[in-house]
Structure 1
């Protein structure tokens, strides 16, 4: 599978409409779920265990989309299988009063992974270049000197690129998934949640209200992808109408990154190795 097909390189401007929301893989859901994903998850888990033990690299995973596109399901079907000691999941929802007193990236710091960890952002710092553009909710203090309603977004894009480059240069790798869903598919999924008593807890009235801004969101998402996809922190656009196919892609892309990092279990050497052998003999004699 050519994963570069889904990757936004940042080398040239893209049109979001050129990326499909489906590759007609829904008929393969059962095969992907039962036959393809399990061995991929096992490989991912094994590599994550090595990375967690090595404590050399960290990975920050960004999951961004409109509601019902599949972010939560990717966590529950893929990432939940990883070693919990090396996993950190954070949802950056609407900023609190305390968070609004700081710069917009301040609240991200507690969500960042340590070396050896995979940190997952279910919604992320990218909310700060999405929702405020749709709803015009920036405060006076959010504008740096010389910036206005039009120039602040290019400034924030630059700041995000620089921040992600700083993380990358310190061995924290960023992989970003945009779940590209059609309006019809979101409607189907929202109605399924609303009509099923066991799924109504997943539904929020704001999910329907935000659909009124669908076209605006597509334009903002397109700008986000074009302005912040880099070689060190690329975006991958997933055909989110195909739920299990998208989850497979998340797994494949994560595997590709970890295989390139090639983590290894630390070796016991020197005095520690001698002491280890001594303790092995001690226990064997009991």
Structure 2
């Protein structure tokens, strides 16, 4: 199974994982294969919508320029828009900060019958805030007096809260997928340079990108620890090599369809006996109008 090849191990070391896919494909070959898989995913979405007893939540994390936006666009482009909802979690608003940090993620969950996409996720609360613990002051946490209180005990508590959150989602009928787009530092540099050198892409660049890039090693350490602590049987992580965007999209799409195609109980509801027994009558009635 493809998913096994990319599942995070218990002793995850991102520095030991290749950021290039195991199978080399041309851009054209990858796009052709993706076209077939995403149509299969769209068919599943239609059945999921009609079945209306489960939802799918797909979570993407990765460093800036890892390709999250284009991956979402390309993998889900054949979906019926009424059945898919995307959220990208930025800096929390004052309203969001007045609640527990998971509140805004609960509020964004997909309803039954829908796909939900978290482009940046609840893991921002154990990544960005771990690299910048001073941000936690805005949450007005009880007995939290300063960044020095963001110790190992604090982070382990948050990992457990996230595990409990994800377990609850699965128990309530959500099929949960978590993908980390594993980008190399060198490829990030190339993509940032393209943003700066291509006028129509200039708007994507922020000086904060360079500031955060200087903290690359710290982020990688935080990602490793967060993934290790939240890589559960209920909600496993998949580590996707992201230096080749077209192939990364294909891998994600295949893992999704591989898992969802096993949900054989997801089907449109059957018509009741009265309607099914009169289908031919209804056809004639319409044809004879």
TM-score normalised by the shorter chain: which range applies? over 0.9
1:59-74 mapped onto 2 (5 Å cutoff)? 59-74=56-71
> TM-score, normalized by length of structure 1?
0.93
Using the TM superposition, give the Cα deviation of residue 76 of structure 1 relative to its aligned residue in structure 2, in angstroms. 1.0
User: Are 2:229 and 1:227 equivalent residues in the alignment?
Assistant: yes
CA distance in 1, matches of 2:138, 2:260: 42
CA distance in 2, matches of 1:245, 1:60: 21
User: Are 2:25 and 1:23 equivalent residues in the alignment?
Assistant: no
Which of 94, 97, 110 matches 2:91? 94
Runs (4 or more) in structure 1 with deviation over 6 Å come to none
Using the TM superposition, give the Cα deviation of residue 26 of structure 1 relative to its aligned residue in structure 2, in angstroms. 6.4
> TM-score, normalized by length of structure 2?
0.92
User: Are 2:48 and 1:51 equivalent residues in the alignment?
Assistant: yes
Using the TM superposition, give the Cα deviation of residue 121 of structure 1 relative to its aligned residue in structure 2, in angstroms. 0.5
CA distance in 1, matches of 2:177, 2:25: 28
1:101-250 mapped onto 2 (5 Å cutoff)? 101-136=98-133, 137-139=135-137, 142-143=140-141, 148-150=149-151, 151-250=153-252
Using the TM superposition, give the Cα deviation of residue 24 of structure 1 relative to its aligned residue in structure 2, in angstroms. 6.9
Q: Which residue of 2 aligns with 1:258?
A: 260
Matched-pair contact (CA < 8 Å) for 1:92–1:122: yes
Q: Which residue of 2 aligns with 1:284?
A: 287
| Aligned residues: CA RMSD | 1.9
CA distance in 1, matches of 2:46, 2:172: 21
Aligned residues: 283
Cα deviation 1:110-147 (Å, max 9, x = unaligned) = 21011111100110111001111111111275545599
Cα deviation 1:154-193 (Å, max 9, x = unaligned) = 0010001011001101111110110000100000001101
Q: What is the DSSP-based 3-state SS (H/G/I as helix, E as strand, rest coil) of the residue aligned with 1:198?
A: helix
User: Are 2:265 and 1:268 equivalent residues in the alignment?
Assistant: no
List runs of 5+ in structure 2 lacking aligned partners. none
